Amino acid sequence: MVGPPVPSPKAADALAGPRVFLHSPAALARHKARWEVDRKHPEAALARLLDDARRALAVQPVSVTEKSALPPSGDKHDYLSLAPYSWPDPHKADGLPYVTRDGQINPERDSIPDHSYFSRIVDLSETLGLAYYFTGDETYAEQGARLLRVFFLEAETRMNPHLRFAQGVRGKEDGRPAGIIDTAQIARLVDGVGLLLGSKSLTAADRDGLASWFRDYLTWLRDSELGSREGQARNNHGTWYDVQVVSLALATGQTELANEVLQFGRKRRIGREIEPDGRQPEELQRTRSWHYAIFNLQAFVALANLGDAVGVDLWRYQTPDGRSIRKAINWLLPFALGQQRWSTPELGGFRPEELLPVLREAAFRLQDARLATTADQLGKNPADRLWLLLEPSR
């Protein structure tokens, strides 16, 4: 990327960054300072973000109450989804109970929109929050606040703060622990809200209401049977569970809880899910092994970034027998670079570029020039929003 000179790191650190936990406030502040030198020439990633934000202004609010299907509770405010890899049993007349075809998504899942609506509110909150942070334009904040109110706060349309009926399996279970992965990206939502906190459009009542929702959902994650079982998972489900708990704890001021989960995560996650050579055995057993190895790494990246926000270093942590996030990245590199052939199943087709965001984040957080060079070998799209979340180039 090219552009005006960037303030020195020491000066830039003094700039007031936004209230975000998943990404670096200082990096965002430096990009903003860079743009303010010449607003007529935003860097490519910012120009694309603002284009996305302008389109987001036309999006109408969505709600979990819009679905035609009724949750087992009879309350449309309850989130509802179907297990993506569950299909009718071809040996049964009624197809029940559904059976698993790992890695093969049943299109029937799309008949219930709650999952796609939650993903949409995450994406839009992040987009509009970033646009407001960079421009100070209340138009973006007003739209972001409106979408958040409808989805989480207004009595007629709000989502109840639990996932009792997520990823149900027809004929077997109304909801399951694995369904908690449906809200894996909630840390991005937390940051999106944080980016809007300085806006007059997000009122005190909105802020209090969202904090209450986050707090209630965190309580459900920790105290419910489904949440407890998901937290015990030894694969990507467990890692993403920790990401959700930590981000929600930080959003609601429960710093001690966040630290506890992050510290324990050294043994429970890095120590159990990554082998000393960097392999992730649980993910390699899947029919989409490359995808899930990277998906779990993305969760580790998120968890390590959250740790940076509160002084818990997961990026550089290594167990006595050598397990680490860096080892997991290194193990995948030869395959991404075409130096070794990926030999375990990958139904989605082997896509080396899926590793790119992990490499970019790792290069930034570890200040590792070799990883940055390797990432450039896989691709470098200056219009990718990821650039706004990393250190700007000089």
Question: Each residue's pLDDT tens digit in the chain (394 positions)?
Answer: 333 333 333 333 334 579 999 999 999 999 999 999 989 889 999 999 999 999 999 999 999 999 999 999 999 999 999 999 999 999 999 999 999 999 999 999 999 999 999 999 999 999 999 999 999 999 999 999 999 999 999 999 999 999 999 999 999 999 999 999 999 999 999 999 999 998 999 999 999 999 999 999 999 999 999 999 999 999 999 999 999 999 999 999 999 999 999 999 999 999 999 999 999 999 999 999 999 999 999 999 999 999 999 999 999 999 999 999 999 999 999 999 999 999 999 998 999 999 999 999 999 999 999 999 999 999 988 889 989 988 776 5
Question: What are the start-end ranges of the H helices in the chain?
Answer: 9-13, 25-37, 44-56, 114-135, 138-148, 186-196, 204-223, 225-231, 236-251, 255-265, 271-273, 281-284, 289-309, 325-336, 356-366, 369-378
pLDDT at 392: 76
Residue 391: the pLDDT is 79
The Cα 129–Cα 196 span in angstroms is 5
- For 20, phi then psi, to 5°, come to -130, 155
Domain CATH code at residue 258: 1.50.10.100
End-to-end CA distance of the chain: 8
Look at residue 12 and tell me if it is in a domain: yes
The residue among 177, 150, 151 whose CA lies nearest residue 166 is 177
The string of DSSP codes covering 344-385 is S-BTT---GGGGHHHHHHHHHHHT-HHHHHHHHHH---TTSG
Q: What is the pLDDT of residue 380?
A: 85
Asked if residue 322 belongs to a domain, the reply is yes
* Residue ranges making up the domain that contains 294: 1-31+236-394
Q: DSSP 3-state assignment of 329? A: helix
Nearest CA to 361 among 352, 351, 371, 350? 371
Contact 329, 285 (CB under 8 A): no
Cβ-count burial 381-392 (b if 16+ within 10 Å, e if not) = eeebeebbbbbb
Domain count, the chain: 1
Cβ atoms of 129 and 144 within 8 Å: the answer is yes
The span from the CA of 231 to the CA of 243, in Å, is 11
Which pLDDT score, from 0 to 100, does residue 2 have?
Answer: 33
Q: Is residue 141 part of a domain?
A: no
Question: Is 228 within a domain?
Answer: no
Q: Which residues pair with 86 in a beta bridge?
A: 100
Residue 355 structure tokens:
């590793």
CA nearest to 312, candidates 364, 255, 359: 255
- Does any domain span residue 75? no
Q: Position 83: which residue type?
A: A
Q: In 3D, which of 215, 202, 192, 209 has the Cα closest to residue 19? A: 192
Q: Is residue 126 part of a domain?
A: no
Other residues' Cβ atoms within 10 Å of the Cβ of residue 4: 13
Sign of CA dihedral 252, 193, 381, 16: negative
Q: What is the pLDDT of residue 16?
A: 52
| Residue corresponding to tokens 């704890």 | 249
Residues 6+ apart with CB under 8 A from 316: 324, 326, 366
Euclidean distance between CA atoms 252 and 364, whole angstroms: 27
HSE value, Cβ hemisphere, 13 Å, CA-based, for 37: 11
Cβ-based burial of 242 (10 A; exposed 0-12, middle 13-18, buried ≥19): buried
- Asked if 239 and 299 touch (Cβ cutoff 8 Å), the reply is yes
Domain assignment present for 271:
yes
Confidence at residue 348, expressed as pLDDT on a 0 to 100 scale: 84
* Residue 115: inside a domain: no
Tokens of 165: 């009926």
